[in-house]
A = this chain, B = another copy of it.
Amino acid sequence: MSRPSAPANPRIPPGVVAPTDYEALARERLDPAAWAYFSGGAADELTLRRNRAAWEAWSLQPRVLRQLAGGHTRVELLGRTLAHPLLLAPIAYQRLAHADGEIGSACAAAAQEAGIVLSVQASTRMEDVARAVQPEAGRGPLWLQLYLQPDRGHTLELLRRAEAAGYEAIVLTVDAPTSGARDRERRAGYRLPPGIAAVNLAGMPQPAAVASVPGGSALFDGLLHAAPTWDDVAWLRSQTALPLLLKGVLHPDDARQAAALGVAGLVVSNHGGRTLDTAVSTAWALPRIREAVGDALPLLVDGGIRRGTDVLKAIALGARAVLVGRPYIHALAVAGALGVAHVLRLLRDELEIAMALTGCATLAEVTPELLVREMPGA
C-alpha cells in the first residue's frame, strides 16, 4: 500500500511554510487507503473537525511592551526539564507512511528535543526505537503507549520490555474498548499490506468481536467482556515504578478518579476524532479537567493542534504539554524523518512567535486571561 521503495528524497518540498502544508502533499503521496487510515476519523468526522474548530474559536487578547528578553519555552514534566512542550502522539504502523517509520519519527523528535510517545501498535520493535534515540543525545521524553491486553501476562510482558528498553513512562489508552465506526477507512478498503504489522504484539491474540448472530450483540456478547476497567488501571499501576498516564479522559469525574488512583498525568484526548464521533472537543474538555484536578497533576492534550497559537491556547487552558499527531505523520509520508523534524521546528517557531506577540516570555505567563470567546458560534 505504501511506497516504501520510492527513492528517499529527503528534502523539504518548496512551498511548505506551515505545519499543515504537508497534508495535501501526503494525500498525493500515500495510496488512498493509507491516506484514509491516517487522516480519517470516526463516522461523519464531526469530532475531527470540531477539535480543530475549538482551538480556532478561542481568540487571543495579546499584551504589548512586556519584557521578553530572557524568555524561553522550557517546561517541567515528570521530573525533567523539556526544551519545549511538544511531543509526538502515538500513531500506529508508521512504516505504512514512509520507510523511515517510527525510527524516523523518533530521530526527528530527538533532533528537535521533542518527546515521543511510541504506539504499542508500532510497525517497529520498541527496543529498536529506543536504541535509535539514546538519552545522551539530548532527546525529549521517550514514552510507550499501551493498550491493556486480554491476557494480563501479555500486558506485563510489554511493560517489562518497555522498562528494559528505557521508556520513561507508560501511556495507557482508555478511550477505545472498541474501535469507532471508521467509515472512511472502511470505504477505502484499508488493510495492512504484507510486511507491516504490530510487531510488538506478535504472538499476543487480540480481542475480536463475536460474529453477529440473530438475537446476538456483536459487541456486548464479545469483546466488551474484556474491556479494561478501573481495576485494571490499579493493577497496572501496582506493577511498575514507571509513571503511568491515562490517555483518552474527557470527563472531570474520570479525571478525579484517575488522580485518586495515583496516575502521573492525563492526556485529554478523543483519540483524534477516531473513536466516538460527536465526542466533545479536547479544547472544551481541557479546562474543565484542569479545574477538576487542581494545578498539580500534569495534563497533556491532543486533537487538532496545528499551529503555534493552538499550543499556546492549550497551555493557557491548563495543559503542561501537547501531543501532535496528523501533522507529523503527513510530514513523515512526504519527507521522512526530515519532514517530521521540519514540522516540529515550524511548530516550535510558531509557538515562540505566539508567545512574543502575546507578551509572554515564558509558558508560566501563558494563562487563561489571554483567551477570549469573541463571538458565540463564530
State whether the Cβ of A54 lies closer than 8 Å to any Cβ in chain B. Answer: yes
Min CB–CB distance A304 → chain B (angstroms): 13
Residue of A70, A71, A253 ringed by the most chain B CB atoms within 10 A: A71
State whether the Cβ of A161 lies closer than 8 Å to any Cβ in chain B. Answer: no
Min CB–CB distance A178 → chain B (angstroms): 5
Contact of A174 (CB < 8 Å), options: B65, B225, B309: B65
A66 to B46, CA, bound (A): 25
Find residues 219-257 in chain A having any chain B CB closer than 8 Å to their own CB. 219-220, 224-230, 232-233, 246, 248-251, 253-254
| Residues on B with beta carbons closer than 8 Å to the beta carbon of A367 | none
Contact of A71 (CB < 8 Å), options: B175, B220, B280: B220
Min CB–CB distance A282 → chain B (angstroms): 11
Contact of A60 (CB < 8 Å), options: B57, B67, B214, B278: B278
Find residues 276-333 in chain A having any chain B CB closer than 8 Å to their own CB. 276-281, 284-285, 307-309
Find residues 142-192 in chain A having any chain B CB closer than 8 Å to their own CB. 174-181, 183, 186-187
Min CB–CB distance A363 → chain B (angstroms): 12
Cross-chain contact B175 with A64 (CB below 8 angstroms):
yes
State whether the Cβ of A123 lies closer than 8 Å to any Cβ in chain B. Answer: no
A279 to B177, CA, bound (A): 39
Cross-chain contact B356 with A224 (CB below 8 angstroms):
yes
Residue of A176, A181, A355, A357 ringed by the most chain B CB atoms within 10 A: A357
Cross-chain contact A73 with B349 (CB below 8 angstroms):
no
Contact of A251 (CB < 8 Å), options: B62, B177, B187: B62
For A, the interface residue count at a CB cutoff of 8 angstroms equals: 95
A232 to B228, CA, bound (A): 55
Min CB–CB distance A288 → chain B (angstroms): 9
Contact of A61 (CB < 8 Å), options: B72, B248, B275, B280: B280
Cross-chain contact B66 with A229 (CB below 8 angstroms):
yes
Given A43-B307, A62-B250, A277-B307, 19 more pairs with CB closer than 8 A: A21-B183, A56-B278, A60-B279, A60-B280, A63-B251, A64-B254, A65-B254, A67-B229, A68-B220, A68-B227, A71-B220, A181-B350, A212-B345, A219-B353, A219-B355, A219-B356, A220-B361, A284-B372, A375-B376
A18 to B50, CA, bound (A): 21
23 residue pairs of the A-B complex, CB under 8 angstroms, read A18-B183, A53-B378, A54-B375, A56-B278, A57-B375, A61-B285, A63-B251, A64-B249, A64-B254, A65-B228, A65-B254, A66-B230, A68-B177, A69-B227, A83-B215, A175-B357, A178-B357, A181-B307, A181-B350, A212-B345, A220-B356, A220-B361, A276-B354
Cross-chain contact B374 with A72 (CB below 8 angstroms):
no
State whether the Cβ of A100 lies closer than 8 Å to any Cβ in chain B. Answer: no
State whether the Cβ of A217 lies closer than 8 Å to any Cβ in chain B. Answer: yes
Contact of A64 (CB < 8 Å), options: B70, B174, B217, B350: B174
Cross-chain contact A181 with B308 (CB below 8 angstroms):
yes
Q: A62-B276, A63-B251, A374-B284 in contact; A356/B69 too (CB < 8 A)?
A: no
A62 to B277, CA, bound (A): 11
State whether the Cβ of A138 lies closer than 8 Å to any Cβ in chain B. Answer: yes
A111 to B61, CA, bound (A): 37
State whether the Cβ of A113 lies closer than 8 Å to any Cβ in chain B. Answer: yes
Cross-chain contact A58 with B350 (CB below 8 angstroms):
no
Cross-chain contact A64 with B248 (CB below 8 angstroms):
yes
